[in-house]
Amino acid sequence: MSDACPLCEAEDGWRARFWAAFPERDGDRAAFPLEVDPPVPSWHMVECAACGAVYPRPHPSAEEIDRYYAEAAEPNEWEMAFYVRKDLTPGALDGEAEMAEQVTRLNGRPGRLLEVGCAAGWQLKAAQEQGWDVYGIEAAPKFSAFVRDHQHLDVFCGRLDDVDPDGLEPFDVVLAFDVFEHLHDPVAALSRLRALVRPGARLLVTTPDISSPVARAWGLSWRQILPSHITYSTPRSMRRVLERTGWRLVRVSEPRWFDPDPARERRNRGREIAKFAARLVLFALVIRPARRWPRLERLPGALTLGRVSWSRFAFAVGDQPVLGDVMLVVAEAVA
């Protein structure tokens, strides 16, 4: 791939954004485990002067990215608990059910739904239970096997590039949650998705927003600086790449408060801001001090009579309280 921006293809300038950011990171997340070599081992990242996207130079090859996902044959312990067997935790699937209901209201009725990067298939399952005809695409065999064998859903194990559009009926809605930042060629992927949908179909994408105040505040310690994230977007870069690939940007929201109804979204935003403030307090008073005084890890269990473990409490509060650093982009397929 050339030195052009992978999203807007501008060649009129870039600046160094950060260097060698992973895995030799400072701060609280420096010990993030590496199970396989990352697709971008050096992390020399630059920022596009035209759209603000951040990406590696040189760009990793498609083969390097495919190797990264193929080498991890089985889910690790964290993935098993928080991605695969979410059904074993009460309330863990509430978000998927709520999103399926929101997508139904956005579309006006159930229809044909495609999820790219469907992981263990829980969002597909929630949509199916609300009347949708669902289909998944998942590049990681460790997840696609669970979708096929345990969820009993239609799933294509492989890359989006290998999907035959002639073998599928057009879709009404496409979901791509936490996928865009992993793609080798986002332009080709969005163009391929446009070929899989009817005119007017909706696309919902969640991806980190590197221009957000939270992302800039945390810097290299930002939770989204991960070995598999190879393109970091901004609302401006998303608009440009969508316009180039047959889509029209409808709105940019945030996954925590998104709702097709503007009034509901305003209420959700207020609630999430309040929860974020509470997480900041708990992070400062419990999470961070517990790194020095491990006995504080007993506190959640003691206060809840054992109903909340330290791991669940730490996951809910976050090892890095954030809000607004992930954007939910809604686009419409142009006729």
> Are residues 224 and 81 part of one domain?
yes
Do 114 and 221 belong together in one domain? yes
Residues in the chain: 335
How far is Cα 283 from Cα 289, in angstroms, rounded to an integer?
8
Residue 223 near residue 320 (C-beta atoms within 8 A): yes
Other Cβ atoms less than 10 A from the Cβ of 70: the count is: 13
Same domain, 157 and 279: no
Residues 25 and 49 in one domain: yes
Same domain, 59 and 194: no
Residue 195 has a CB neighbour count (10 Å cut-off) of 13
Q: What is the pLDDT of residues 178-206, one digit of tens each?
A: 999 988 899 999 999 999 999 999 999 99
58 CB-near residues (< 8 Å, 6+ apart)? 1, 44
Decide if pLDDT at 153 tops 90.
Answer: yes
Picking from 22, 54, 71, the residue at the C-terminal end of a domain is 71
Query: Does residue 143 lie in a domain region?
Result: yes
Residue 216, in any domain of the structure: yes
**Domain shared by 84 and 57, yes or no:** no
> Is 244 inside a domain boundary?
yes
Strands 197-208, 112-116: pairing kind? unpaired
Which pLDDT value is given to residue 188? 94
pLDDT of res. 31: 35
Is there a single domain that holds both residue 196 and residue 301? Answer: no
Q: What is the DSSP string of 224-267?
A: T--TT---BB-HHHHHHHHHTTTEEEEEEE-TTT--SSHHHHHH
- Give residue-wise pLDDT tens across range 269-326: 999 999 999 999 999 999 999 989 999 999 999 999 999 999 889 888 887 889 999 9
Domain assignment of residue 83, given as a range = 77-261+323-333
Do 250 and 198 belong together in one domain? yes
- Mean pLDDT for the stretch of residues 117-142: 95
Number of domains in the chain: 3
Whether residue 333 contacts residue 198, with contact meaning beta carbons closer than 8 Å, is answered with yes
Classify residue 202: in a domain, yes or no. yes
Establish if 8 belongs to a structural domain.
no
Q: pLDDT tens, 38-93?
A: 555 555 778 898 999 988 877 777 777 777 666 667 888 878 887 889 988 888 89
In a domain, 302, yes or no: yes
Q: In what order do the strands lie in the sheet with 14-18?
A: 14-18, 45-48, 54-56
| Domain shared by 172 and 96, yes or no | yes
For residue 181, give the 3-state DSSP assignment: helix
Domain match, 112 and 230 both: yes
CA distances from 243 to 165, 186, 232, 233, 334 (A): 21, 13, 18, 15, 9
Domain-ending residue, one of 71, 87, 119? 71
**How does residue 17 score in pLDDT terms, banded at 50, 70 and 90?**
low
Q: How many CA atoms lie within 13 A of 26 on its CB side?
A: 4
The number of beta carbons lying within 10 Å of the beta carbon of residue 308 is 15
Report whether 325 contacts 222 (CB < 8 A).
yes
Does residue 3 form part of some domain?
no
Say if 182 falls within a structural domain: yes
- 210 and 193 share one domain: yes
pLDDT at 263 over 90: yes
pTM recorded for the entire structure: 0.88
pLDDT exceeds 50 at position 34: no
* The predicted structure's pLDDT at residue 10: 85
Residues 251 and 300 grouped into a single domain: no
d(CA 11, CA 25): 30
Q: Cα(271)–Cα(146) distance, rounded to whole angstroms?
A: 34
Q: Quick one: how many helices (H) and strands (E) in the chain?
A: 12, 10
CATH code for position 112: 3.40.50.150
* Band of residue 29 on the pLDDT scale cut at 50, 70, 90: very low
**Among 143, 113, 327, 322, which Cα is nearest to 223's?**
322
